[in-house]
Amino acid sequence: MSQPGQASKSKELKNVSKQVITPSILKEDKRKLELLYIIKVLNTISERALTTLLYEAKDKGLDLKYEFNTVGNNIFSPSIKEDITTLLYLGLIETDPSTKKLKLSTDGEEALESNLASIDDNFKNQLNQILNDVKNKIVAIDEEYSLKLRSERRSRRR
């Protein structure tokens, strides 16, 4: 009980609205669907290699409307990170426990299959052409990432 002369403290309840993410976002956001398709085509890919691929694709005319920042030789994109986080949250992609690379989950395979008609053949053809051009670079980035992971695991064991 509060003493006379003392003001009682109360807590205010604040309502905050947040956007809910549902799997139907793939029908609304073609970019996320195309990102899912790219991961499917590559089977597994590190986040860094995926960012590099999308950066190179933009230079070669396949623009998924991501903004990129470069610091030295490092390319990063907050919007790609956000889309990956969304796809992970929805369970459409997952991180392979042994390689730490992104891959489609079973739900992601099903979602992609049911929305495949929404992906333009032009996009698929352009992606295949770009992958032929930059595949070696992407594989090198992924291999570097794998070596770094192995090195970190060894140093933790000591």
In a domain, 124, yes or no: yes
In a domain, 3, yes or no: no
What token pair was written down for 84?
């990956």
In a domain, 1, yes or no: no
52-107 pLDDT tens trace? 999 999 999 999 999 999 998 889 999 999 999 999 999 999 999 888 899 999 99
Look at the chain and report how many structural domains it folds into. Answer: 1
Residue 143 predicted with pLDDT over 60: yes
Maximum alpha-carbon separation in the chain: 79
What token pair was written down for 92?
């459409």
In a domain, 58, yes or no: yes
What pLDDT is recorded for position 153? 77
Provide the pLDDT confidence category of residue 5 given band limits of 50, 70 and 90: low
In a domain, 151, yes or no: yes
Residue 132 sits in which domain range?
Answer: 24-157
**pTM: predicted TM-score of the whole model, two decimal places:** 0.81
Match 């409307």 to its residue by tokens.
65
- In angstroms, the CA 119 to CA 33 distance is 8
In a domain, 99, yes or no: yes
In a domain, 5, yes or no: no
Residue 32 C-alpha from the chain's centroid? 8
- In angstroms, the CA 60 to CA 48 distance is 18
In a domain, 132, yes or no: yes
- In angstroms, the CA 99 to CA 134 distance is 21
**For position 122, which CATH number holds?**
1.10.10
